Amino acid sequence: MEIQRALAEERHARELAALVAADTGSRPPGWRLSPRAVVDFIVGLARPIAHPDGELVQVERKFYGDDALVERAVITLTTSRGLMLVGEPGTAKTMLSELLAAAISADSTLAIQGSAGTTEDQVRYGWNYAALLASGPSMSALVPAPLYLAMEQGLLVRFEEITRCAPEVQDVLLSPLSDRLLLIPELAGAERIVQARVGFNVIGTANTRDRGVSDMSAALKRRFNFETVRPIRDLKLEVELVLQNTNRALAEIAVPVRLEEDVARLLVTTFQELREGITREGDRVDCPTTPMSTAEAVAVATSSGCHAHFLGSGQIRPDDLVRYLMGTVLKDDPEDRERLVNYFERIAKRRAKDNPLWKEWSDAKKWL
Ligand SMILES: Nc1ncnc2c1ncn2[C@@H]1O[C@H](COP(=O)(O)OP(=O)(O)OP(=O)(O)O)[C@@H](O)[C@H]1O
Ligand SMILES: [Mg+2]
CA triple 24-7-13, angle to 5 deg: 35
Q: How many angstroms does the Cα of residue 48 sit away from the middle of ligand 1? A: 26
pLDDT tens sequence across 15-29: 999 999 999 999 999
Report the predicted TM-score, pTM, of the whole model to 2 decimal places: 0.93
Closest CA to 358 of 244, 279, 246, 245: 279
Look at residue 213 in the predicted model and tell me its pLDDT: 63
Residues ≥6 apart with Cβ < 8 Å to 293:
88, 89, 90, 91, 231, 275
Look at residue 14 in the predicted model and tell me its pLDDT: 98
Q: Is the dihedral of CA 83, 89, 90, 94 positive or negative?
A: positive
**Quick one: which atom of ligand 1 is closest to the CA of 95?**
18
Residues ≥6 apart with Cβ < 8 Å to 152:
144, 194, 197
Ligand showing the shortest atom-to-Cα distance for residue 232: 1
With beta carbons less than 8 A apart as the criterion, state whether 139 and 191 touch. Answer: yes
Q: What pairs with residue 202 in β-bridges?
A: 157
Closest CA to 169 of 97, 129, 119: 119
Pairing of strands 49-50, 56-57: antiparallel
Residues ≥6 apart with Cβ < 8 Å to 129:
none
With beta carbons less than 8 A apart as the criterion, state whether 197 and 157 touch. Answer: no
pLDDT tens sequence across 112-140: 999 999 999 999 999 999 999 999 999 99
Report DSSP state, residue 365: G
Q: How many Å apart are CA 332 and CA 104, to the nearest integer?
A: 39
Ligand showing the shortest atom-to-Cα distance for residue 89: 1
Return the CATH architecture of domain 65-229: 3-Layer(aba) Sandwich (3.40)
pLDDT-based confidence at residue 332 (cuts at 50, 70, 90): confident
**Average pLDDT across the chain, whole number:** 95
Look at residue 83 in the predicted model and tell me its pLDDT: 98
Look at residue 1 in the predicted model and tell me its pLDDT: 82
pLDDT tens sequence across 165-220: 999 999 999 999 999 999 999 999 999 999 999 999 999 999 988 766 678 999 99
Q: Is 95 in the pocket of ligand 1 (CB under 6 A)?
A: yes
Look at residue 368 in the predicted model and tell me its pLDDT: 87
The secondary structure of 170-230 as a DSSP string is: HGGGHHHHHTSEEE-TTS-GGGGEEEPPTT-EEEEEEEGGGTTSSPPPHHHHTTEEEEEE-
Closest CA to 158 of 231, 194, 104, 212: 104
pLDDT tens sequence across 37-93: 999 999 999 999 999 999 999 999 999 989 999 999 999 999 999 999 999 999 999
* 142 three-class SS: strand
- Report which protein residue has its CA nearest ligand 1's atom 18: 92
pLDDT-based confidence at residue 331 (cuts at 50, 70, 90): confident
Q: Is 340 exposed, middle or buried (0-12, 13-18, 19+ CB in 10 A)?
A: buried
Look at residue 212 in the predicted model and tell me its pLDDT: 61
CA 31 → CA 67, 204, 277, distances in Å? 21, 19, 43
Look at residue 210 in the predicted model and tell me its pLDDT: 75
- What DSSP element (H or E) covers 49? strand 49-50
Q: Is 44 in the pocket of ligand 1 (CB under 6 A)?
A: no
The secondary structure of 332-353 as a DSSP string is: S-THHHHHHHHHIIIIIHHHHT
Q: Is 207 in the pocket of ligand 1 (CB under 6 A)?
A: yes
Q: 348-368 in b/e burial notation, b at 16+ Cβ within 10 A? A: bbebbeeeeebbbbbbbbeeb
Q: How many Å apart are CA 197 and CA 249, to the nearest integer?
A: 38
pLDDT-based confidence at residue 248 (cuts at 50, 70, 90): very high
Ligand showing the shortest atom-to-Cα distance for residue 271: 1
